Amino acid sequence: MIKSFNGKSPIVASSAFVSRTALVCGDVVIGEHSGVWPGAIIRGDYSRISIGSRSYVEDGCILHTGEVALEIDDDVLMGHGAVVHCRKISRGVLVAMNATLLMDAEVGEYSTIAAGAVVTEGMMIPSYSLVTGVPARVTGRVPEEEVQQRLKEYGDYMVRVMEMLKAGDF
């Protein structure tokens, strides 16, 4: 469902997919070839949430923000159940299942936030970081080969999405 809130309406690129069981409301911008899956909630009721191109918000994710806008760059994948309430997620980041990113945190390019990790308020994560744990900490570096494989898989992912859309409405 795409809804206006307080006079602000989401702007969704024509090539983007938003599941009919997702909620996208308020000051939200979703870029080209991006996807929002069933049960996801993106609430731009306080500040803007912008999602770049080829970025995916999987089932059950919650994206919200306070007074500071949330910027999600291109080629970002947010795994099932992630809670994102931070300031910035840079290009090519993987936020794995059930990870939590708290207010004012920023994630550098091509980083991986491990499943279940809790990125604390205001944490600044350098590019290519592997981030794990509760509370989260940088525990390694994401190799360039993994980044290239990830970007290829994102492209393949969108092709599969379009096939599923043609097969039925969800």
Split at pLDDT 50, 70, 90, the class of 168 is: low
Domains of the chain, first to last: 2-167 (2.160.10.10)
**What does pTM read for this prediction?**
0.92
Torsion on CA atoms 48, 63, 29, 65, rounded to nearest 10? 0
* Under 8 Å between Cβ of 79 and 100: no
Looking at the predicted structure, is the pLDDT value of residue 61 above 70? yes
Give the start-end residues of each E strand in 79-160.
Answer: 83-84, 88-89, 94-95, 100-101, 106-107, 112-113, 118-119, 124-125, 129-132, 137-141
72-122 pLDDT, tens digit per residue, is 999 999 999 999 999 999 999 999 999 999 999 999 999 999 999 999 999
